[in-house]
Amino acid sequence: MTLPLPHPALAATDPELAALVAAEEQLQADTLRLIPSENYVSRAVLEASGTVLQNKYSEGYPGRRYYEGQQNIDKVERLAIDRAKALFGVEHANVQPYSGSPANLAVYLAFADPGDTVMGMALPMGGHLTHGWGVSATGRWFRGVQYGVRHDTGLIDFDEVRELALKERPKIIFCGGTALPRTIDFAAFAEIARESGAVLVADVAHIAGLIAGGAHPSPVPHADVISTTTHKTLRGPRGAMLMSREEHAKAIDKAVFPGLQGGPHNQTTAAIAVALHEAAQPSFRDHAHAVVANARALADELLARGFDLVSGGTDNHLILMDLTPKDVPGKVAAKALDRAGIVVNYNTVPYDPRKPFDPSGVRIGTPSLTSRGLGTQHMAAVAEWIDRGVSAAGAGDEDALAAIRAEVAELMAAFPAPGLTA
Ligand SMILES: *Cc1c(COP(=O)(O)O)cnc(C)c1O
């Protein structure tokens, strides 16, 4: 390990902030990071997001800007757009949304009016806030109707989705979510959207990298619009993209700018271009399949240790554990695992009898550990640590948590993280 990484100008100007960055680098190096929406970006992506592209205003789109001096910026954005189109096989890509939530807001602006009915998966079932959930602007300014998963299987019930769509006639249907461990049937959603006259938005924020790597079916050609963040399994900078067929290109572009945003974050656009280049390499396909293989192996190891997994396992990068049978609340487990060097998040499970801020579940995933090179042969150890950590959480055994933390740090030291080696 070569930590701390050199940030000489930052250290000279603002040692207090530099020390915080160094501490975060060390934390990310030493811990087993299992939050499924997180990852490690490459050094190249980090470098691209910290350049003088930061200094440039470029409202508009390549060739149609409201500011001069776009000789290089236009080329950067075109590169990102062309790479997105090639990687995902789409006709149109907008790489300007600041993040996943504003990308989704732009979709509302493009295809609905305030007060219109929109449909998405309920947040406590695994959907995202921006799919019309009440506390979100999308649920306050639109009439959100929500589908879920079946209590017995943990899977989406397409009869329920169809019935709801035909009854409510939403303008937009969102599929995708934040805690869905199973393959999304885009064709089934598309059929329902067609029948009910809705625009289908596939929000693949979590699984974009798996799709790019061929480890999850693509929403192309089923979805009208594809919304994705770029910083989760796609392993790019914090940002987002909207993709579609040519027929929706104008509506989407107008919604992002001038509808919702001002100047694009060009340093982020550049880093997106780099991440898309990396994701187009054969090694990224191997990586995406390894993410899924690791998740499956980890799920099997957890099941063998008596853990209750929502839907009984996983098809993708994500596992949702219901800790009710272990008699440890999700938040207690998550905080204890954090002290053990295993970083997870507490999460509601479908039909959770507990409150959202103190739910029954813990959500984990394999993107970050796979980016560090851990393979299926390590998943027994990971499951063992989680098992011991959850037991220690229940028993209040801080010594056991400290012992796990040391073991975790020892293994992670053998697998240097992308981006954290100079
Ligand atoms: C992460 C996520 C978002 C939001 O992305 P932010 O960049 O956090 O705003 C939207 N939809 C889904 C399904 C997500 O997983």
For residue 29, the surrounding DSSP H or E stretch is: helix 15-30
**Residue 176 alpha carbon, nearest atom of ligand 1:** 13
Residue 150 lies in a domain: yes
In this predicted structure, the answer to whether residue 125 has a pLDDT above a threshold of 90 is: yes
**Distance between CA atoms of 255 and 222, rounded to whole angstroms?**
22
CATH of residue 155's domain is: 3.40.640.10
**30 falls in which pLDDT band (50, 70, 90)?**
very high
176: Cα within 13 Å, side-chain hemisphere: 28
Choose which residue among 107, 130, 201, 260 to substitute to test ligand 1 binding: the one with the highest number of ligand atoms within 8 A of its C-beta. Answer: 130
Q: What percent of the chain has pLDDT over 70?
A: 100
Q: Which two tokens stand for residue 44?
A: 């190249």
User: How far apart are the CA of 228 and the centre of ligand 1, in A?
Assistant: 7
The whole-chain average pLDDT of the chain stands at 97
User: How far apart are the CA of 106 and the centre of ligand 1, in A?
Assistant: 13
Residue 274 and residue 291 in one domain: no
Instruction: Check residue 421 and give its pLDDT.
Output: 85
**Residue 127 alpha carbon, nearest atom of ligand 1:** 13
61, exposed or middle or buried, with CB in 10 Å at 0-12, 13-18, 19+? middle
Catalytic residues: 57, 59, 203, 229, 232, 238
| Count of structural domains within the chain | 2
The sheet with strand 361-365 has its strands ordered as 308-309, 318-322, 361-365, 345-347
User: How far apart are the CA of 73 and the centre of ligand 1, in A?
Assistant: 26
Q: Which two tokens stand for residue 15?
A: 């040692």
Residue where one domain finishes, among candidates 225, 258, 279 = 279
Residue 291 and residue 258 in one domain: no
Residue 252 and residue 324 in one domain: no
Segments forming the whole domain that contains residue 381: 286-413
Residue where one domain finishes, among candidates 228, 248, 279 = 279
Contacts of 281 (CB under 8 A, 6+ apart): none
Residue 4 lies in a domain: no
**pLDDT per residue over 383-408, tens digit each?**
999 999 999 999 999 999 999 999 99
Instruction: Check residue 422 and give its pLDDT.
Output: 66
Q: Which two tokens stand for residue 189?
A: 């959603």
Spacing of C-alpha 239 from chain mean position: 11
**pLDDT per residue over 73-102, tens digit each?**
999 999 999 999 999 999 999 999 999 999
Q: Ligand 1 site: residues with CB under 6 angstroms?
A: 37, 99-101, 104, 128, 130, 176-178, 203, 205-206, 229
Residue 245 and residue 349 in one domain: no
User: How far apart are the CA of 403 and the centre of ligand 1, in A?
Assistant: 35
User: How far apart are the CA of 283 and the centre of ligand 1, in A?
Assistant: 26
Residue 56 lies in a domain: yes
Q: What percent of the chain has pLDDT over 90?
A: 98
Q: Count the neighbouring beta carbons within 10 Å of the beta carbon of residue 265.
A: 23
In this predicted structure, the answer to whether residue 312 has a pLDDT above a threshold of 90 is: yes
**pLDDT per residue over 181-220, tens digit each?**
999 999 999 999 999 999 999 999 999 999 999 999 999 9
In this predicted structure, the answer to whether residue 1 has a pLDDT above a threshold of 90 is: no
**Overall average pLDDT of the 285-290 stretch:** 98
Instruction: Check residue 160 and give its pLDDT.
Output: 96
Choose which residue among 178, 230, 241, 261 to substitute to test ligand 1 binding: the one with the highest number of ligand atoms within 8 A of its C-beta. Answer: 178
Residue where one domain finishes, among candidates 236, 264, 279 = 279
**pLDDT per residue over 266-277, tens digit each?**
999 999 999 999
**3 falls in which pLDDT band (50, 70, 90)?**
confident
**pLDDT per residue over 231-286, tens digit each?**
999 999 999 999 999 999 999 999 999 999 999 999 999 999 999 999 999 999 99
**Distance between CA atoms of 333 and 341, rounded to whole angstroms?**
12
